[in-house]
Amino acid sequence: MERQEIISHLSELLAEEFEVDASLITGDAPLMETLELDSLDLVDVVVIIEQNFGVTLSAPDFQGIKTFDDFFTLIERKVNA
């Protein structure tokens, strides 16, 4: 799956699920703050990724994830593994 396709689809899903303006989801924006995520919301993120991309995420996968770009890279790596 191409990176841009992942970014586009994932941005749309996250904007809808967490009710944020899609224009706020940019590569350098902070993931947790932009989506106002708490630890319970991360479970929702994991479910969204599993349902839409067919990959499983675990807590260690989120270490070092600060920005949307970090997150997109993680998903791209998992999808294309």
Among 54, 46, 57, which residue's Cα sits nearest to residue 17? 46
| Structural domains for the chain | 3-79 (1.10.1200.10)
Would you state the structure tokens that stand for residue 78, as one six-digit string?
């998992």
Per-residue model confidence as pLDDT tens for the chain (81 residues): 899 999 999 999 999 999 999 999 999 999 999 999 998 999 999 999 999 999 999 989 999 999 999 999 999 999 999
Other beta carbons within 10 angstroms of residue 31's beta carbon come to 20
- Which residues are CB-contacts of 7 (< 8 A; sequence separation ≥ 6)? 72
pTM, full prediction:
0.93
